Structure 1
Amino acid sequence: MLEHGGRLRAAAQRYGIPLADWLDLSTGIAPEPWPLPAIPLEAWARLPEEDDGLEAAACTCYGARHALALAGSQAAIQALPELLPAGRVGVLGLSYAEHAHAWRRAGHRLVRLDVAAIDAQLDRLDALVLANPNNPTGERFAPAQLLAWHARLQTRGGHLLVDEAFIDCTPALSVAAFSDRPGLIVLRSFGKFFGLAGVRLGFVLAEPGLLAGLRERLGPWAVSGPARALGLQALDGANAGARRRRAAELQRQGAALAELLSAHGLHPAGGCALFQWLPRLDAAALHDFLARRGILVRLFSEPASLRFGLPATEADWQRLARALADYPKETT
């Protein structure tokens, strides 16, 4: 399996620091979990029932016409390439690596692109896969541009897959409202925005025929009863105001993180509300410096860079600030 953030136990073993003493900034997950509702006993005791209104709540929340719930958007990332004929698939050179991994494993030919090359290469692709905002660079794509690329692909029966895992704080960027168009597939993550990654819940927004094929491939009871109950509560229209307030607060925190890094001479090259991306030649050294102080961030090798997630408490913010202030002292 590919390397991901959040492998705190491995870091604890490597650096000899107890789990409880770590500040984990290695994932792009909201640091404050959504308040957990009471889960009805029957959600635990009975098999999940798919006519409980969860997909309808997701459609209302995301502005889509059709949705399929699954055990995290990762499940869709792995299954969708198996549903489409093998072809040429465009992926960004630096993006969420599971996309490229899944399309290659399903027999598709990958075409590595940078954003500037998409227009020139698009008419030679059968599918284009983008994350919006991109992870880890934070690059954003305007809906009008995405829809124009989709239209060009669709004239030849092609597909555009847009992974909107980090879009909840900037919903104006979403193309969920257009996901009923043939050849347009949108993924939405639940755990990142709501700070509940362990729930393993996500959604695919697409036209009904594709969702039916994906549902058949995933089989029955793809989402647990407790996860469905929690998702229903969080996505309910009655909580729209709470979701807007959360989005605004996460935007504020994302900007504060960028300011903190910049104040210590570590200027992010991109990011979004839930993370900031920092390319640096000394990325590995800074990663190790922070880890030796019990602060875990995500390290990338190509290009050498770090991704910082949001601290949870004021004490966590201060701890990070002290470590960043100390780093230049070690390198001089």
Structure 2
Amino acid sequence: MLEHGGRLLRAARQYGIAVQDWLDLSTGINPVAWPVPEIPARAWHRLPEDDDGLIDVARAYYGAESLWPVAGSQAAIQALPELRAASTVGVLAPGYAEHAQAWRRCGHLVELRGAAELIAQADDFDVIVLIHPNNPGGERFERAALLDLHARLAARGGWLLIDEAFMDATPELSLCGESAREGLIVLRSVGKFFGLAGARAGFVCANEVLLQALRERLGPWTVTGPTRHALRHALTDREWQATMRAQLLAQGERLAALLSAHGLRASGGCAFFQWHRNDEALALHEALARCGVFTRYFEQPRSLRFGLPDDEAQWRRLDTALADVMHERTQP
């Protein structure tokens, strides 16, 4: 099992700080979650039904011709490699490590490359996996370049798989609307933007032939009834979505400015998080943890990812912790 952010209970035990006393910035999840309404008893008592309207609502939200709900994009990440014969797969690195692990687990040859190298050497691969915007680096890609990359792969039966888990704040950059093209697969998550990580829900946008193969692989009832009920409402709440997009974009810039003010200039990031590369990242991570501030540490490359604080009190707490830690590090 790979390491992920959000392991707050373990951090509480390790540092001897009660769970409620932490400022948890270890994930890229929106701290201001969409307000889930009361779930009707029927959603708990009956099996989920595919024709409950969720598909139509999701098509309208993502602008995709065809899609399928899954138990978080992680479910698709693990299942999609099983739908191809042995392939050479180029995966963006550094990036969300579950992609490479899933393809390797199924016997594919996986090569980790930077974005420019992947695009320039596309003919070396049967499948290319991009995260857009990237996690943790925040890299973004031009629409024309992505469509050209897809065309080069699809011409010889290849796939371009794009993980858009952090795309909701900038939907104009999404390729969901092009996902009916053969060989183009776009993954979306509701956990990040809507703050509903516990719902374990996402969508795969692709052509119908591939979606049918994926449905057969995953089996029935991929998303629970209560989650389907919540998603039908969340995906149609346009007022909340518009307000939250503006708020997240502003908060992402604010976080980058705060880190820079303390000498931790962002190496990359997006509306949901900022990323700082530093050879002393582990020491910084541990020093902040002793202050009750939980960040996401990466070994390769050594770096920290900072999620967004929730409210003004948390912003002040982060500011104070950064000041204390950086002051301590400058002392002889």
Band of TM-score, shorter chain: over 0.9
The CA distance in 2 between the partners of 1:40 and 1:107, in whole Å, is: 44
Aligned to 2:325: 327
1:116 deviates by 2.1
The CA distance in 1 between the partners of 2:162 and 2:323, in whole Å, is: 38
Aligned to 2:133: 133
The CA distance in 1 between the partners of 2:206 and 2:309, in whole Å, is: 34
1:102 deviates by 0.1
Aligned to 2:89: 89
1:112 deviates by 1.5
Aligned to 1:311: 309
1:328 deviates by 2.3
Aligned to 2:16: 16
The CA distance in 2 between the partners of 1:116 and 1:71, in whole Å, is: 31
Structure 2's unaligned 5+ residue stretches are none
Partner secondary structure for residue 204 of structure 1: strand
Given that 2:268 and 2:274 are in contact with CA atoms closer than 8 Å, whether structure 1 keeps it comes out as: yes
Indicate yes or no: 2:61 matched with 1:61: yes
Partner secondary structure for residue 193 of structure 1: coil
1:242 deviates by 1.9
Task: Return the TM-score normalized by structure 2.
Answer: 0.98
Partner secondary structure for residue 214 of structure 1: helix
The CA distance in 1 between the partners of 2:119 and 2:271, in whole Å, is: 28
Aligned to 2:187: 187
Q: Deviations over 1:226-277 (max 9, x none)?
A: 00000000112xx223211111111111111011101111100110000000
Partner secondary structure for residue 2 of structure 2: coil
The CA distance in 1 between the partners of 2:326 and 2:49, in whole Å, is: 56
The CA distance in 2 between the partners of 1:101 and 1:118, in whole Å, is: 18
2:283 to 264, 282, 285: 285
Given that 1:278 and 1:307 are in contact with CA atoms closer than 8 Å, whether structure 2 keeps it comes out as: yes
Q: Deviations over 1:186-240 (max 9, x none)?
A: 000001100110011100000001111111111111110000000000112xx22
The CA distance in 2 between the partners of 1:184 and 1:86, in whole Å, is: 18
Aligned to 1:153: 153
Given that 2:92 and 2:118 are in contact with CA atoms closer than 8 Å, whether structure 1 keeps it comes out as: no
Given that 1:56 and 1:67 are in contact with CA atoms closer than 8 Å, whether structure 2 keeps it comes out as: no
Partner secondary structure for residue 121 of structure 2: helix
1:36 deviates by 1.0
Q: Deviations over 1:48-94 (max 9, x none)?
A: 10111111111100110001001100000000000111110001220
Given that 2:164 and 2:186 are in contact with CA atoms closer than 8 Å, whether structure 1 keeps it comes out as: yes
Aligned to 1:265: 263
1:14-53 equivalences in 2 (<5 Å): 14-53=14-53
Q: Deviations over 1:12-46 (max 9, x none)?
A: 11101111111100000000110111212100111
Q: Deviations over 1:144-178 (max 9, x none)?
A: 11111000001100000000000000111100000
The CA distance in 2 between the partners of 1:180 and 1:28, in whole Å, is: 29
The CA distance in 1 between the partners of 2:122 and 2:314, in whole Å, is: 44
The CA distance in 2 between the partners of 1:48 and 1:27, in whole Å, is: 29
The CA distance in 2 between the partners of 1:202 and 1:156, in whole Å, is: 29
Aligned to 1:250: 248
Aligned to 2:174: 174
The CA distance in 2 between the partners of 1:138 and 1:254, in whole Å, is: 11
- Which deviates more from structure 2 when the two are superposed, residues 16-25 or residues 119-128? 119-128
The CA distance in 2 between the partners of 1:152 and 1:52, in whole Å, is: 38
The amino acid across from 1:192 in the alignment is: K
Size of the alignment, in residue pairs? Answer: 330
The CA distance in 1 between the partners of 2:101 and 2:316, in whole Å, is: 38
Runs ≥4 residues deviating over 6 A: none
1:302 to 300, 303, 314: 300
Residue identity over aligned pairs, in percent, reads: 58
The CA distance in 1 between the partners of 2:166 and 2:116, in whole Å, is: 22
**What's the Cα RMSD here?**
0.8
The CA distance in 2 between the partners of 1:303 and 1:119, in whole Å, is: 21
Partner secondary structure for residue 269 of structure 2: strand
1:161-240 equivalences in 2 (<5 Å): 161-236=161-236, 239-240=237-238
The CA distance in 2 between the partners of 1:119 and 1:81, in whole Å, is: 20
Given that 2:126 and 2:153 are in contact with CA atoms closer than 8 Å, whether structure 1 keeps it comes out as: yes
1:114 deviates by 1.1
Structure 1's unaligned 5+ residue stretches are none
Task: Return the TM-score normalized by structure 1.
Answer: 0.98
The CA distance in 2 between the partners of 1:136 and 1:167, in whole Å, is: 13
The CA distance in 1 between the partners of 2:99 and 2:274, in whole Å, is: 21
Partner secondary structure for residue 215 of structure 1: helix
